[in-house]
Chain A
């Protein structure tokens, strides 16, 4: 923990002054009770994420990380506890399920671009649904944002016609169009090969530096977690609960040279022991993908 302690000052320079998008998870419990056999997915979990932080949630498969993400997104409710976004109650006593809203957008594990819409039509979907801006304004903004993200020329292709890496980028741009306070990533790069993945990591940071939002990022890839995150929250195997917090004191902006730096290796070592222990526990408990 000593490494985490003396990096507090560093962290301040890492996270720029973003005042929006702070998430506070307080003592959240989620029990699944499908046929009487109560399964505890999340166990008295408390996490505090300041606005504009890239917070990496690391844990073994099926430990209940996604449950936490779904609770923030409002896709399902919690059993007890509270979740706040900028000190406003998302869910808690009296209202166990949050309303899904455009201030918290999920980028899904397998991608959820609509295959029947062109990339551009996908990107404008959110603002068009909101109906606050005129069609021309929305389309102009979408084309500009796509160009910024290196997606120029793919506007009129269907998602199925471009590579999986580009698809993910389209999906992130689609999410950012709504100017959310929080982006929720559910292992978005899991299905990509490692080369595409490294390109995607830099692309994500690039997009992040231009649009500072809070990022709640679930992964079980430790290298990805340390490369991207301001902070790693390593979860225990089911039920899911923060086990160790690792502050990543490598300054942003980062690029791929970071991967070979000694500090990166040190942090890898520090986190690896804890993650392996939990993975082993999860394996022994016979946990399946979930």
Chain B
């Protein structure tokens, strides 16, 4: 992005609306949280939460703390690990179900019965299955993304315009060419959408899994952002709870943004619509 484009973006109306909205949100939060100490009346709900100034102060103290960054790293690794495993297994699985009727009829019913089970319901079973807590967390995050990716790939590959297939066929493309040059690129937009949704679910799941499992053996430092929040709660540091929550928001945003850019790069023809 060049400088003028960046300038246009920063000084655009949409950008200002965003800034104003966030400022108003922070002001209401700050006033609400401080109201009791100023006027002796506790505002319901907001009055119980630490003020944003206190949160940022506490955050400032954490920036230099390696164990806070360790939490980021742990969660990111679990999310990416589970997510990539889900892509590697889910995309071929979905594609194969779409192109092979026998496989579809065999695998789909089982898949559909397992799919509605929330990934978090797998936590106890996964702790029993897997030798380490780390593997159980990764497995649960994997499940979060896997079903979404499969169902999107399957739907995308099944709804390919039949005329693309017929056109390729009449131009003499072999079955393999049709798969590689028609089915695959035609499904790519659905793969991107499925991955973006799957990534969101992965973040939801990893945090809950970290809280439940106690964050993988190595105590507070190796626990990830979910465990960071839980630990802050148990330790009574309410500012840090909010720091953890905002950290997850930022981490999730970066993951989605990364995926959006990758998706845009892989499907350049969609920009023209």
- A contacts, CB < 8 Å to B: 73-75, 100-102, 104-106, 108-110, 112, 114-117, 125-126, 129-130, 158-161, 174, 178
Asked whether, in the complex, the Cβ of B170 is within 8 Å of the Cβ of A158, the reply is no
Closest to A110 in B: B163
Stretch at the interface among B36-44, B65-73, B171-179: B171-179
Asked whether, in the complex, the Cβ of A74 is within 8 Å of the Cβ of B272, the reply is no
Asked if B185 CB lies within 8 Å of chain A CBs, one says yes
Q: How far is the CA of A105 from the CA of B269 in the complex (A)?
A: 25
Asked whether, in the complex, the Cβ of A129 is within 8 Å of the Cβ of B185, the reply is no
Asked if B236 CB lies within 8 Å of chain A CBs, one says no
Supplied contacts A110-B161, A125-B173, 6 more A-B pairs, CB within 8 Å = A73-B170, A106-B166, A114-B167, A115-B269, A126-B171, A129-B177
Say which size band chain B's interface belongs to.
Answer: 20 to 34
Contact of A116 among B166, B167, B171, B269 (CB under 8 A): B269
Asked whether, in the complex, the Cβ of A158 is within 8 Å of the Cβ of B164, the reply is no
Asked whether, in the complex, the Cβ of A100 is within 8 Å of the Cβ of B166, the reply is yes
Asked whether, in the complex, the Cβ of A116 is within 8 Å of the Cβ of B172, the reply is no
- B contacts, CB < 8 Å to A: 161, 163-164, 166-174, 177, 181-182, 185-186, 188, 267-269, 272-273
Asked whether, in the complex, the Cβ of A129 is within 8 Å of the Cβ of B269, the reply is no
Q: List 26 A-B contacts (CB under 8 A).
A: A75-B166, A100-B166, A101-B172, A102-B172, A106-B166, A106-B167, A108-B166, A108-B167, A109-B163, A112-B161, A112-B164, A112-B167, A114-B181, A115-B269, A116-B185, A116-B267, A116-B269, A117-B185, A125-B171, A125-B173, A126-B172, A129-B168, A129-B172, A158-B269, A158-B272, A160-B273
Q: Write the nearest CB–CB distance from A183 to chain B, whole angstroms.
A: 11
Q: Write the nearest CB–CB distance from A173 to chain B, whole angstroms.
A: 13
Q: Write the nearest CB–CB distance from B26 to chain A, whole angstroms.
A: 42
Q: How far is the CA of A75 from the CA of B148 in the complex (A)?
A: 33
A-side binding surface: helix, strand, loop or mixed? loop
A112/B186 contact (C-beta < 8 A), A160-B272, A178-B171 known: no
> For residue A158, which residues in chain B have a CB less than 8 angstroms away from its CB?
268-269, 272
> For residue B167, which residues in chain A have a CB less than 8 angstroms away from its CB?
106, 108, 112, 114
Q: Write the nearest CB–CB distance from A132 to chain B, whole angstroms.
A: 10
Contact of B173 among A117, A129, A160, A161 (CB under 8 A): A129
Q: Write the nearest CB–CB distance from A254 to chain B, whole angstroms.
A: 29
Contact of A129 among B171, B268, B273 (CB under 8 A): B171
Asked whether, in the complex, the Cβ of B273 is within 8 Å of the Cβ of A100, the reply is no
Asked whether, in the complex, the Cβ of A102 is within 8 Å of the Cβ of B171, the reply is yes
Q: How far is the CA of A174 from the CA of B164 in the complex (A)?
A: 13
A112/B163 contact (C-beta < 8 A), A158-B268, A160-B269, A161-B272 known: yes
Q: How far is the CA of A159 from the CA of B269 in the complex (A)?
A: 8
> For residue B186, which residues in chain A have a CB less than 8 angstroms away from its CB?
114, 116
> For residue B268, which residues in chain A have a CB less than 8 angstroms away from its CB?
158
Contact of B164 among A100, A101, A114 (CB under 8 A): A114
